[in-house]
Chains A and B, each alone.
Chain A
Amino acid sequence: MNTLTFAGVLLVLSAIAYHLGRRRAYTVAGGELRKLHSLPSYYGLYTAIWCGLPALVLIGFWLAFENTLVTAMVVSDLPEALRSLPSERLNLVLNDLRNLAEGNIGPESVDPAIQAAAAHYNQLLQISHWAMAVVVLSVAMILGWYALTKVKPHQRARNAVEVVIKAFLILCASVAILTTLGIVLSVLFESLRFFTSVPPMEFLFGTVWSPQTALRADQVGSSGAFGAVPLFAGTMLISAIALLVAVPIGLLSAIYLSEYAHKKVRTIAKPLLEILAGIPTVVYGFFAALTVAPFVRDLGRSMGLEVSSESALAAGVVMGIMIIPFVSSLSDDVINAVPQSLRDGAYGLGATQAETIRKVIFPAALPGIVGGILLAASRAIGETMIVVMAAGLSANLTANPLEAVTTVTVQIVTLLTGDQEFDSPKTLAAFALGLALFAVTLVLNVIALHVVRKYREQYE
């Protein structure tokens, strides 16, 4: 039976349980509903939960362990010659076997022992499915019936139901923790595997990055070099260009909009600027690669400069445009949070508006603005599509914005797109880069949030 239809059957069963529970509540109340502790529908829910929830959990566990168990059973029945293979080879055999069992490959290419095993595998899976169906449905029915017998006027059905709902709410809220945990564990785990083949010091301080490893040991350049310094430098360069574009423009627009602009201008210009934040990054990437990069190259050429067509400058400028709204809306918030009394004080002393802004408001808002810039920087470091489409692939260690550089995110994408075996240092390197990226952006975010929060407390 298909898992989806099975879930459907379970749902129908729960619906029946709800109905029965509700009716039973009416019956035990004997026509006098106020005798019941809870509303009748809660008795229905109570029964339905008893019927459906444990069965659902059971399905989850069953599906999670089914594959491992069945595989173990199949392996133990394999011929001795196959079973004694080293674990990587055995995994390949098992892959073949699964593909065969699912009908992805034809039986011609595989040897008969594996064909037999695949048939066995399918048979076991079949048995397991039917067993699951029987066990789960009987559990659902028995527990549903048990709940039905417990429906009494004094039974606190509502409280029981609410406990379950609250548990569900807590579970949903903890998804955030689970996600973080998942990120940290998956990235860390794969990175540790990477660091068994490449020492962390070499990764962090090596200056040569060429992840292409040869298939055979005797080929030229067989050992890839995993020194990530050129990537870090490239990321820094592009992010720095982006911030050089975004910070002045974003900050000055925020100041103008909050201090000078007429209300009408503000209501039009502010949303327009914020459109920049809503445009998908792939659009910026296209814009950078097809409009800005050729423009920068031609401009450089007309001035007699040699500009790469994948220059860091083009990617950085477009990334800067993208983060203008981050800087401007965050600065706008903190500038607006500066109390009016500070402005009035400055005006009272005869300062002009520009002097007030520069000497009073800006220093008062500085921590918040710095926080905003840090958030923008973390956004720039983690940005992927613009650099994938507009920046280069070769890892040059240079500070010249006219040359092509590559970034951490570009390398992650190039290392992981396409089909690769999962165990080579090449793919694992992507996770090590991911770890570095996660760590750096996390630190930046924590500092930024801390700064912003601390500042906010000052005036409230």
Chain B
Amino acid sequence: MNTPTSTGAPRRRTIDIVNAGLKKRRRAERRFRLYGMTAISMGLLFLLTLFGSIISKGYTAFWQHYMLIDVTLTPADIAPDGSRDPQVLAKANYMGLVKASLREMFPEVTGRRDKRRLYKLVSSGAASEVRKRVLEDPALIGKTVGFWVPTDDEVDLLLKGRVNTQLPESQRRVKDNVVAWVETLKQQGRIQKRFNTIFFTHGDSRNPEQAGILGAVSGSFLTLLVTLLLAFPIGVAAAVYLEEFAPRNWFTDLIEVNINNLAAVPSIVFGLLGLAVFLNFFHLPRSAPLVGGLVLTLMTLPTIIIASRAALKSVPPSIKEAALGVGASPMQAIYYHVLPLAMPGMLTGTIIGMAQALGESAPLLMIGMVAFIVDVPHGVFDPATVLPVQIYLWADSPERAFVERTSAAIIVLLAFLVTMNLLAVILRRRFERRW
């Protein structure tokens, strides 16, 4: 290779300048590439951490430990007069019976504080479990019956290994004697791990071991039903008008600008709209899925309209022209020929809009869907909450057992979202047509 000094030329040749800088430039190239890879890995790492942290916190909530207690159903305590009237039976002090059976298991426990700890081994829902069985079968009265009842949330956490027993006793809520009792019970085979059906069949509760997501899931379902019934027809109709009939004038432009802007308005502003218009002006009931559905309709409409317009646009004009050519009116051509072909695209857009609506919580806070509601809602006027808001409420709860339940609720929510998105993808793959 020639160098300027060896030839003695007064000027450096271009190729030499290039060669001299080449190493540095290649290094820069590699560095730049590395930056890009780092960025992507970081993004994926975040995703992994997010899912990892939630799944590791939440998977245990799908199990719950149950404890076998032998309750002596003494007739004197349940119905002293020998009555079998369900009303009398329902009023008996079953908690007292449960407590008595616990005392029997650990007769050595004396002292008020220790006794109180002993009673807290089982969930406060244990009494209603016993009552239910007695009401179903009054013949049990007088016998000693074994009941599998849910353990208290702290005990459950202990059994799941989520309590650090190495900490000094004063720093944890589960005290040493409780740990010892649980150990004894475990050796006696009185502890069982079961699938947590309560979590899927109950409404909200202040006690973590009795709290479930059924209320929130039905609330979400009702809210989305209202949203779907309103947003789909309105969205499709708006898209059809804008794509097929609208003349180019100021009014159409105004609509277009509005749709584009609404798609980017913060969701909480829709909540303010719902509060001011639906609640304070139209006096619709607070916390109702109906109002939630109305607010979410306004929120998801832009998504659905934009997706439906894209679907209508992808149908070749020749199809409409052929229909017009054989004498159909424009309305008939669109209704019978363009719309069916655009429908898969529209449905995909709608499902994606619904998935958005399912995950939304901020506007629903504004219209009072944050109330503590135990009952499972059955209609669109019943007070209800939705799954994301339930997550928000539980995340605020001080009980540690709610952390795993919150994570479990998030897993359920994500499962719904994944299903909906998969449905959209499948729909698109299956019916997508290239013209």
> Bound pair: A and B?
yes
Which residues of A are in contact with B by a Cβ distance under 8 Å? Answer: 67, 158, 162, 165-166, 168-170, 172-177, 179-180, 182-183, 186-187, 189-190, 248-253, 255-257, 260-261, 269, 272-273, 275-276, 278-287, 289-291, 321, 324, 328, 350, 352-355, 357-358, 375, 378-379, 381-385, 388-389, 409, 412-413, 416-417, 422, 430-431, 434, 437-438, 441-442, 445-446, 449
Which residues of B are in contact with A by a Cβ distance under 8 Å? Answer: 18, 25-26, 28-29, 31-33, 35-40, 42-44, 46-47, 49-50, 53-54, 57, 233-235, 237-238, 240-242, 245-246, 254-255, 258-262, 264-270, 272-273, 275-277, 280, 283, 298, 301-302, 305, 329, 331, 355, 358-362, 365-366, 368, 370, 388-389, 391-392, 395-396, 403, 406-407, 410, 413-414, 417, 421
Nearest Cβ in chain B — how far from A210, in angstroms?
A: 22
Asked whether A350 lies within 8 Å of B18 as measured between CB atoms, the reply is yes
Nearest Cβ in chain B — how far from A137, in angstroms?
A: 25
Asked whether A355 lies within 8 Å of B53 as measured between CB atoms, the reply is no
Asked whether B237 lies within 8 Å of A168 as measured between CB atoms, the reply is yes
Nearest Cβ in chain A — how far from B102, in angstroms?
A: 34
Asked whether A172 lies within 8 Å of B234 as measured between CB atoms, the reply is yes
B413 neighbours in A (Cβ, 8 Å) = 280, 283
Asked whether B241 lies within 8 Å of A384 as measured between CB atoms, the reply is no
User: Which A residue sits closest to B40, measured CB to CB?
Assistant: A253
Asked whether B359 lies within 8 Å of A282 as measured between CB atoms, the reply is yes
A175 neighbours in B (Cβ, 8 Å) = 234, 238, 298, 301
Asked whether A166 lies within 8 Å of B331 as measured between CB atoms, the reply is yes
Asked whether A190 lies within 8 Å of B50 as measured between CB atoms, the reply is no
B234 neighbours in A (Cβ, 8 Å) = 172, 175
Query: Can you show 12 pairs from A to B with CB atoms below 8 A apart?
Result: A175-B298, A175-B301, A179-B258, A249-B43, A256-B36, A278-B355, A287-B50, A290-B395, A355-B28, A434-B272, A438-B265, A446-B261
Asked whether A282 lies within 8 Å of B361 as measured between CB atoms, the reply is yes
Nearest Cβ in chain A — how far from B153, in angstroms?
A: 17
Asked whether B273 lies within 8 Å of A183 as measured between CB atoms, the reply is yes
Asked whether B355 lies within 8 Å of A272 as measured between CB atoms, the reply is no
User: CA of A77 to CA of B315 in the docked complex: distance in angstroms?
Assistant: 64
Interchain CB contact (< 8 A) of A249 among B39, B50, B301, B358 = B39
Nearest Cβ in chain A — how far from B160, in angstroms?
A: 17
Given contacts A260-B33, A283-B413, contact A182 B273 (CB under 8 A): yes
B241 neighbours in A (Cβ, 8 Å) = 166, 169-170, 172-173
Asked whether A272 lies within 8 Å of B258 as measured between CB atoms, the reply is no
Q: Other than A166-B241, A273-B43, A449-B261, give 14 A-B pairs with Cβ distance below 8 A.
A: A168-B237, A169-B240, A173-B246, A176-B302, A187-B269, A252-B40, A253-B39, A273-B47, A280-B413, A352-B28, A352-B29, A355-B28, A430-B272, A445-B261
User: CA of A182 to CA of B273 in the docked complex: distance in angstroms?
Assistant: 7
Question: Which of A169, A253, A446 has the most CB atoms of chain B within a 10 A radius of its CB?
Answer: A169
Given contacts A281-B361, A282-B388, A358-B32, contact A382 B268 (CB under 8 A): yes
Asked whether A409 lies within 8 Å of B362 as measured between CB atoms, the reply is yes
Nearest Cβ in chain A — how far from B348, in angstroms?
A: 14
Asked whether A180 lies within 8 Å of B262 as measured between CB atoms, the reply is yes
Asked whether A179 lies within 8 Å of B262 as measured between CB atoms, the reply is yes
Interchain CB contact (< 8 A) of B361 among A158, A248, A385 = A385
User: CA of A387 to CA of B366 in the docked complex: distance in angstroms?
Assistant: 15
Nearest 4 Cβ contacts at the A-B interface: A382-B266, A256-B36, A280-B359, A186-B276
User: Which B residue sits closest to A358, measured CB to CB?
Assistant: B32
User: CA of A369 to CA of B298 in the docked complex: distance in angstroms?
Assistant: 29
Asked whether A256 lies within 8 Å of B268 as measured between CB atoms, the reply is no
B355 neighbours in A (Cβ, 8 Å) = 278
Asked whether B329 lies within 8 Å of A158 as measured between CB atoms, the reply is yes
Mostly, the A contact residues are helix
Asked whether A276 lies within 8 Å of B410 as measured between CB atoms, the reply is no
User: CA of A179 to CA of B277 in the docked complex: distance in angstroms?
Assistant: 10
Question: Which of B18, B31, B37 has the most CB atoms of chain A within a 10 A radius of its CB?
Answer: B37
User: Which A residue sits closest to B330, measured CB to CB?
Assistant: A162
Nearest Cβ in chain B — how far from A40, in angstroms?
A: 14
User: CA of A248 to CA of B388 in the docked complex: distance in angstroms?
Assistant: 30
Asked whether B44 lies within 8 Å of A176 as measured between CB atoms, the reply is no
Asked whether B270 lies within 8 Å of A183 as measured between CB atoms, the reply is yes
Mostly, the B contact residues are helix
- Our count of residue pairs bridging A and B at CB distance below 8 angstroms stands at 251
A375 neighbours in B (Cβ, 8 Å) = 264
Asked whether A248 lies within 8 Å of B39 as measured between CB atoms, the reply is yes
Asked whether B276 lies within 8 Å of A441 as measured between CB atoms, the reply is no
User: Which B residue sits closest to A386, measured CB to CB?
Assistant: B362
Interchain CB contact (< 8 A) of A417 among B33, B57, B245, B365 = B365
Interchain CB contact (< 8 A) of A187 among B38, B276, B329, B331 = B276
B246 neighbours in A (Cβ, 8 Å) = 173
Nearest Cβ in chain A — how far from B228, in angstroms?
A: 15
Interchain CB contact (< 8 A) of A442 among B35, B42, B265, B273 = B265
User: Which A residue sits closest to B363, measured CB to CB?
Assistant: A384
B298 neighbours in A (Cβ, 8 Å) = 175, 179
B53 neighbours in A (Cβ, 8 Å) = 287, 290-291
A165 neighbours in B (Cβ, 8 Å) = 331
Interchain CB contact (< 8 A) of A169 among B38, B49, B238, B329 = B238
B46 neighbours in A (Cβ, 8 Å) = 276, 321, 324
A291 neighbours in B (Cβ, 8 Å) = 49, 53
User: Which A residue sits closest to B395, measured CB to CB?
Assistant: A286
User: CA of A439 to CA of B289 in the docked complex: distance in angstroms?
Assistant: 29
User: CA of A431 to CA of B421 in the docked complex: distance in angstroms?
Assistant: 35
Asked whether B35 lies within 8 Å of A252 as measured between CB atoms, the reply is yes
Nearest Cβ in chain B — how far from A260, in angstroms?
A: 6
Interchain CB contact (< 8 A) of A186 among B39, B265, B272 = B272
A255 neighbours in B (Cβ, 8 Å) = 36
Asked whether A434 lies within 8 Å of B269 as measured between CB atoms, the reply is yes
Given contacts A249-B39, A422-B280, contact A280 B255 (CB under 8 A): no
A172 neighbours in B (Cβ, 8 Å) = 233-235, 237-238, 241
User: Which B residue sits closest to A276, measured CB to CB?
Assistant: B47
Nearest Cβ in chain A — how far from B322, in angstroms?
A: 19
User: CA of A162 to CA of B333 in the docked complex: distance in angstroms?
Assistant: 12
User: CA of A383 to CA of B268 in the docked complex: distance in angstroms?
Assistant: 8
Given contacts A273-B44, A278-B417, A431-B276, contact A409 B392 (CB under 8 A): no
Nearest Cβ in chain A — how far from B435, in angstroms?
A: 22
Interchain CB contact (< 8 A) of B50 among A279, A350, A430 = A279
User: Which B residue sits closest to A446, measured CB to CB?
Assistant: B261
Nearest Cβ in chain B — how far from A277, in angstroms?
A: 10
User: CA of A281 to CA of B421 in the docked complex: distance in angstroms?
Assistant: 17
Interchain CB contact (< 8 A) of B391 among A182, A256, A286 = A286
Asked whether B362 lies within 8 Å of A256 as measured between CB atoms, the reply is no
B49 neighbours in A (Cβ, 8 Å) = 291
User: Which B residue sits closest to A354, measured CB to CB?
Assistant: B32
Asked whether B265 lies within 8 Å of A183 as measured between CB atoms, the reply is yes
Asked whether B25 lies within 8 Å of A173 as measured between CB atoms, the reply is no
Asked whether A173 lies within 8 Å of B39 as measured between CB atoms, the reply is no
User: CA of A417 to CA of B280 in the docked complex: distance in angstroms?
Assistant: 14
Nearest Cβ in chain B — how far from A297, in angstroms?
A: 16
User: CA of A183 to CA of B265 in the docked complex: distance in angstroms?
Assistant: 10
User: CA of A438 to CA of B271 in the docked complex: distance in angstroms?
Assistant: 12
User: CA of A199 to CA of B283 in the docked complex: distance in angstroms?
Assistant: 30
B388 neighbours in A (Cβ, 8 Å) = 280, 282, 385
User: CA of A112 to CA of B134 in the docked complex: distance in angstroms?
Assistant: 47
User: CA of A95 to CA of B175 in the docked complex: distance in angstroms?
Assistant: 52
Question: Which of B260, B267, B268, B406 has the most CB atoms of chain A within a 10 A radius of its CB?
Answer: B268
User: CA of A287 to CA of B395 in the docked complex: distance in angstroms?
Assistant: 10
Asked whether A290 lies within 8 Å of B36 as measured between CB atoms, the reply is no
User: CA of A287 to CA of B414 in the docked complex: distance in angstroms?
Assistant: 14
Asked whether A378 lies within 8 Å of B264 as measured between CB atoms, the reply is yes
Asked whether B301 lies within 8 Å of A173 as measured between CB atoms, the reply is no
B414 neighbours in A (Cβ, 8 Å) = 279, 283
Asked whether A182 lies within 8 Å of B277 as measured between CB atoms, the reply is yes
